[in-house]
Amino acid sequence: MREELIEKLKKIIKNMDEDTIKEVLNYAKYLIVKDKNK
């Protein structure tokens, strides 16, 4: 599941500008931390 998500993100990221990538990475970190705290 997680690998599929990473592949999708890689494809999306190729089409993004730097600011958008930073926002996405910050959100991903937030989700990972939230996930670990469960």
Tokens of 20: 């958008």
How far does the chain reach from its first CA to its final CA, in angstroms?
Answer: 18
> Structure pTM?
0.49
Q: What is the pLDDT of residue 19?
A: 92
pLDDT tens string 1-38: 789 988 988 888 888 899 998 998 899 899 989 888 87
Q: What is the pLDDT of residue 14?
A: 86
9, 24 contact by CB (below 8 A): yes
Distance in angstroms (rounded) separating the CA atoms of residues 20 and 37: 26
Q: What is the pLDDT of residue 26?
A: 92
